[in-house]
Structure 1
Amino acid sequence: MDYTEDMKNRLKRLEGQMRGVLRMMEEEQHCKDVVTQLSAIRSGIDRTIGYVVAKNLEACIREANSEGRNAEEEIQQAVNMIVKSR
């Protein structure tokens, strides 16, 4: 699978958010604010996982169709990846 610039940029944004949370902790900012930011990061990670899995699934289905195969196995693998990430 080719990882797109969009996928990499999503991770770079999350990396920046993580650095920001660490800075908040070092500055002894309020727990509620830190947890709010951590929740946003978790949500961003979940969305990124979904995006990567969806793009991979698209590619696998296209490949299976072009080869005349059933894509059921690829679909099940994608479902399993999403379930395991929760």
Structure 2
Amino acid sequence: MQYDEKVKNRMRRIEGQVRGVIKMMEEEKDCRDLVSQMSAVRSALDKSIAVIVSSNLEQCVREQVDKDEPTDELIQEAVNLLVKSR
């Protein structure tokens, strides 16, 4: 699957957030601030997962419909991926 630049940029921002968390740890920042930043990273990852799964699902469903094949299994697999990511 090809990933567009928006998704790659989203992941780069998350990478920067993680580096920021590590820096906060090295600077022995307050745990409340640290947990807040870690929560932001987790939220950003969750959103990225949803974007990737939905994009992939859309592409795969279109291909299945073009081939005149059922999409039930594909949709269930996408749902399972989202549930697994939580």
TM-score range, shorter chain: over 0.9
Question: Structure 1 stretches (4+) deviating beyond 4 angstroms?
Answer: none
Counterpart residue number, 1:55: 55
Listed as ranges, the gaps of 5+ residues in structure 1 are: none
Counterpart residue number, 1:84: 84
State the distance in 2 between where 1:65 and 1:53 align: 18
State the distance in 1 between where 2:24 and 2:71 align: 46
- Tell me the TM-score normalised to structure 1 length: 0.97
Counterpart residue number, 1:30: 30
1:68-83 to structure 2, matched below 5 A, reads 68-83=68-83
- Tell me the TM-score normalised to structure 2 length: 0.97
State the distance in 2 between where 1:75 and 1:45 align: 21
Considering only aligned residues, what root-mean-square deviation do their CA atoms show, in Å?
Answer: 0.6
1:4-15 to structure 2, matched below 5 A, reads 4-15=4-15
State the distance in 2 between where 1:72 and 1:52 align: 19
State the distance in 2 between where 1:5 and 1:71 align: 27
Counterpart residue number, 1:16: 16
Structure 1 vs Structure 2: percent identity of aligned residues?
52
Counterpart residue number, 2:45: 45
For 1:18, give the aligned amino acid: V
For 1:73, give the aligned amino acid: E
For 2:42, give the aligned amino acid: R
The one-character-per-residue Cα deviations of 1:23-68 (angstroms, maximum 9, x if unpaired) are 1111111110000000000000111000000000000010011111
Listed as ranges, the gaps of 5+ residues in structure 2 are: none
User: What SS is found at the alignment partner of 1:39?
Assistant: helix
